Amino acid sequence: MKKASPPEVLSMPEQCARIIDTLIEKRKALGLTQKELAVASHLTQSVIARMESKKAIPQLDTLLKVVDALGCDIEIKPV
């Protein structure tokens, strides 16, 4: 019988981690708690905490809600 291998752990891309770090800095600069940001972005506090801990790559719609609640924009540029 073949032994089941553990699920593959995907690392978060560096660019995504930098975006999250920027959002954390902005939240703190505005003096918001994770709970307050969650309410403002129509998400749960656990979603904000999971995103900020970088345990999961956030979906685009989640990022857009957070960015909007923080009064920021996401800019996409060709590289």
Q: In total, how many domains does the chain have?
A: 1
Per-residue model confidence as pLDDT tens digits over 1-27: 555 554 444 567 888 999 999 999 999
pTM of the model: 0.81
H-type helices in the chain, by residue range?
14-29, 34-41, 45-52, 60-69
Domain that holds residue 35: 14-69
Quick check: is 47 in a domain?
A: yes
- Residues 18-57 have pLDDT tens digits of 999 999 999 999 999 999 999 999 999 999 999 999 988 9
Residue 43 lies in a domain: yes
The token pair at 72 is 């920021």
Contact 69, 37 (CB under 8 A): yes
Q: Which tokens belong to 3?
A: 């032994």
Q: Give the pLDDT confidence score for residue 8 in this predicted structure.
A: 47
Query: Is residue 75 situated within a structural domain?
Result: no
